[in-house]
């Protein structure tokens, strides 16, 4: 994601106080059956905003025409990604149309651009969604989609309840320039129920088509294993998009989490791989584990990636998808890759900021995972496993998963310390974020009985805190069905 997103941070922090929305602007989106164009009618509650903005640099090119709905129909014209509204009365409306078939390529901030997926269409929201840059605490936008019979929509926003005539959503208060995607297509959105959440799964068109039951089983298994971290899945109704057609041997060569609206996870899959490959793959537990934290600024990606990288192995060991021994082998191999990574001489902070240029992914991901393992082991050791990273995340979920504010790693770690009544996280931050060396795990290995032998790690039976080692990977409340592992 783009690093320069923190300018509005303080504004958003103060605007995120939950206040019952009073002013609901209504957007009605009408989509043609061939999904090549859309018409939007936006009616504002009270005084219209002075200007609208769009997140994508491609939005001006996709904009076809627009007008204010008033007696003298005044044309609207974007100026770059901004559009001034003048002379529109209170409670007034505008209308505009957008060409969705333009092959837009300027903006790749979301990791993807608007594109056809078989008969379906993946759209960057910022291509067509002209909206106020900021919403006051008492404002929200309700977007409803008037769709031809059989055409469905998948959005990252919160569905309005009870259900309206058309699929309708409240967008909430996340910053307007956080990337997000809406898909239109001939799919049926599938509710995937897990403790604490209903994931909204949409599987786009493919040739051959993806096996819908297999994809649902795969996402359900991964979401259940992540819900097991502290008992409930961290985001109430996230958008889960599965996009077939990826060219690769592995089942999910590319995936990411977006933070516009509620959180969303998108998986680009090779739908020819059997279900077994998906169940064995770490990608879905990794991406869904990202949701254990709110949006952490990309300058501190070591924390978000470290959390996902740690739990991609821990959750799978607990569900039985891999053995505890295999989980430790994978973690050990990861720590080695992080230590050997090509960005020697850089601090973790520098390696994170330069990750996309210098390819220091392994250093960043596995340094974060090592710090969280150090934290988990220390919390468990001092409390005889009563306290852990899981329990801290459970407390954090109760206070701090509002999707709108953007956090720094320091703020998250300070909160973790406050919730755990310790200084475990502050000490780890101070020791490792500005250090050029990979976190030293020698003492931890000795304490919990891990012995490195060449590229492998051996689980010893005589170490002071074997109980901690085994508790981390102990089977949890959810077990991956044995049939999926055969
Ligand atoms: Zn990740």
Instruction: Using the mean position of ligand 1's atoms as its centre, give its distance from the Cα of residue 203 in Å.
Output: 21
- Does one domain contain both 175 and 299? no
Any domain includes 206: no
Q: Is the pLDDT of residue 344 over 50?
A: yes
* Residue 73: predicted pLDDT: 72
Instruction: Using the mean position of ligand 1's atoms as its centre, give its distance from the Cα of residue 306 in Å.
Output: 8
pLDDT in tens, 426-445: 999 999 999 999 999 999 99
Q: What is the mean pLDDT of residues 249-254?
A: 94
Instruction: Using the mean position of ligand 1's atoms as its centre, give its distance from the Cα of residue 295 in Å.
Output: 12
- State how many domains the chain has: 2
Instruction: Using the mean position of ligand 1's atoms as its centre, give its distance from the Cα of residue 252 in Å.
Output: 13
pLDDT in tens, 382-434: 999 999 999 999 999 999 998 888 999 999 999 999 999 999 999 999 999 99
Any domain includes 219: no
Which one, of 295, 451, 441, 436, lies nearest residue 363 by Cα? 436
Dump the DSSP string for 392-403: HHHHHHHHH--S
Q: Report the CATH number at residue 384.
A: 1.10.390
Which of these three, 179, 203, 231, is where a domain ends? 179
Instruction: Using the mean position of ligand 1's atoms as its centre, give its distance from the Cα of residue 305 in Å.
Output: 5
| More confidently predicted of 340 and 271 | 271
Ligand 1 is an ion; its neighbours by CB within 5 Å are 305, 308
Share of the chain above pLDDT 90, in %: 82
Q: Is the pLDDT of residue 336 over 80?
A: yes
Any domain includes 200: no
Q: Is the pLDDT of residue 467 over 80?
A: yes
Q: Report the CATH number at residue 78.
A: 2.60.40.3650
Which of these three, 164, 179, 194, is where a domain ends? 179
Instruction: Using the mean position of ligand 1's atoms as its centre, give its distance from the Cα of residue 2 in Å.
Output: 15
Any domain includes 221: no
Q: Is the pLDDT of residue 8 over 70?
A: no
Instruction: Using the mean position of ligand 1's atoms as its centre, give its distance from the Cα of residue 433 in Å.
Output: 18
Instruction: Using the mean position of ligand 1's atoms as its centre, give its distance from the Cα of residue 346 in Å.
Output: 21
468: tokens are 């901690």
Inter-residue contact 147 to 153 (CB < 8 Å) = yes
- Does one domain contain both 170 and 305? no
Instruction: Using the mean position of ligand 1's atoms as its centre, give its distance from the Cα of residue 286 in Å.
Output: 6
Q: Is the pLDDT of residue 58 over 60?
A: yes
pLDDT in tens, 360-379: 889 999 999 999 999 999 99
The H or E element containing residue 128 is helix 125-128
* Residue 74: predicted pLDDT: 82
* Domain ranges, residue 89: 1-179
Q: What is the mean pLDDT of residues 3-25?
A: 52
Residues present in the chain in total: 486
Instruction: Using the mean position of ligand 1's atoms as its centre, give its distance from the Cα of residue 301 in Å.
Output: 9
Q: What is the mean pLDDT of residues 331-339?
A: 94
* Residue 450: predicted pLDDT: 98
* Residue 169: predicted pLDDT: 97
Any domain includes 146: yes
Instruction: Using the mean position of ligand 1's atoms as its centre, give its distance from the Cα of residue 12 in Å.
Output: 24
| Whole-number Cα distances in Å, 187 to 33, 166, 176, 471 | 14, 16, 27, 42
Count of C-beta atoms within a 10 Å radius of residue 391: 18
Instruction: Using the mean position of ligand 1's atoms as its centre, give its distance from the Cα of residue 461 in Å.
Output: 33
- Does one domain contain both 165 and 301? no
- Does one domain contain both 172 and 40? yes
Considering the chain, what is the average pLDDT of its residues?
A: 92
Inter-residue contact 354 to 340 (CB < 8 Å) = no
Any domain includes 242: no
Q: Is the pLDDT of residue 98 over 80?
A: yes
Q: What is the mean pLDDT of residues 197-225?
A: 98
Any domain includes 210: no
Instruction: Using the mean position of ligand 1's atoms as its centre, give its distance from the Cα of residue 382 in Å.
Output: 30
* Residue 189: predicted pLDDT: 97
Q: Is the pLDDT of residue 107 over 60?
A: no
Q: pTM of the full predicted structure?
A: 0.92
Which of these three, 179, 210, 228, is where a domain ends? 179
Helix (H, G, I), strand (E, B) or coil at 159: strand
Q: Is the pLDDT of residue 190 over 70?
A: yes
């Amino acid at each position: 994601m783009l690093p320069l997103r923190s300018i509005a941070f303080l504004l958003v922090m103060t605007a995120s106080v939950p206040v019952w929305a009073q002013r609901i602007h209504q957007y009605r989106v009408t989509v043609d059956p061939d999904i090549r164009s859309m018409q939007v009618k936006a009616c504002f509650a009270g005084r219209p905003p002075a200007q609208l903005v769009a997140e994508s640099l491609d939005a001006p090119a996709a904009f076809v025409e627009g007008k204010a709905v008033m007696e003298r129909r005044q044309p609207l014209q974007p100026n770059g990604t901004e559009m001034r509204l003048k002379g529109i009365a209170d409670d007034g409306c505008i209308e505009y149309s957008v060409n969705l078939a333009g092959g837009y390529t300027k903006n790749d901030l979301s990791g993807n651009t608007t594109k056809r997926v078989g008969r379906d269409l993946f759209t960057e929201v910022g291509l067509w969604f002209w909206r106020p840059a900021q919403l006051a605490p008492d404002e929200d936008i309700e977007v409803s989609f008037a769709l031809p019979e059989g055409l469905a929509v998948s959005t990252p926003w919160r569905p309005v309840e009870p259900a309206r005539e058309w699929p309708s959503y409240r967008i909430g208060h996340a910053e307007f320039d956080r990337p997000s995607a809406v898909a239109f297509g001939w799919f049926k959105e599938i509710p995937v129920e897990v403790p604490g959440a209903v994931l909204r799964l949409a599987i786009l068109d493919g040739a051959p088509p993806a096996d819908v039951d297999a994809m649902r089983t795969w996402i359900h298994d991964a979401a259940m294993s992540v819900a097991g971290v502290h008992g409930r899945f961290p985001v109430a109704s996230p958008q889960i998009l599965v996009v077939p057609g990826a060219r690769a041997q592995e089942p999910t060569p590319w995936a990411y989490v977006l933070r516009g609206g509620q959180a969303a996870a998108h998986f680009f899959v090779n739908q020819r791989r059997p279900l077994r490959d998906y169940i064995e793959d770490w990608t879905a537990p990794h991406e869904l584990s990202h949701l254990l934290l709110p949006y952490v600024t990309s300058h501190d990606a070591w924390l978000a990636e470290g959390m996902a990288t740690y739990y991609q192995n821990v959750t799978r060991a607990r569900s039985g998808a891999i053995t505890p021994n295999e989980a430790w082998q994978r973690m050990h191999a990861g720590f080695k890759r992080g230590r050997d990574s090509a960005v020697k001489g850089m601090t973790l902070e520098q390696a994170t900021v330069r990750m996309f240029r210098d390819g220091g992914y392994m250093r960043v991901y596995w340094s974060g995972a090592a710090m969280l393992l150090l934290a988990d082991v220390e919390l468990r050791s001092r409390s005889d496993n009563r306290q852990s990273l899981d329990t801290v995340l459970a407390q954090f979920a109760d206070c701090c998963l509002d999707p709108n504010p953007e956090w720094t790693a320091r703020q998250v770690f300070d909160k973790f310390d406050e919730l755990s009544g310790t200084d475990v996280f502050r000490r780890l931050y101070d020791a490792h974020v500005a250090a050029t060396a990979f976190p030293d795990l020698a003492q931890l290995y000795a304490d919990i009985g891990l012995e490195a032998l060449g590229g492998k790690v051996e689980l010893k039976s005589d170490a002071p805190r074997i109980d901690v080692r085994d508790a981390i990977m102990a089977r949890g409340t959810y077990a991956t069905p044995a049939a999926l592992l055969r």
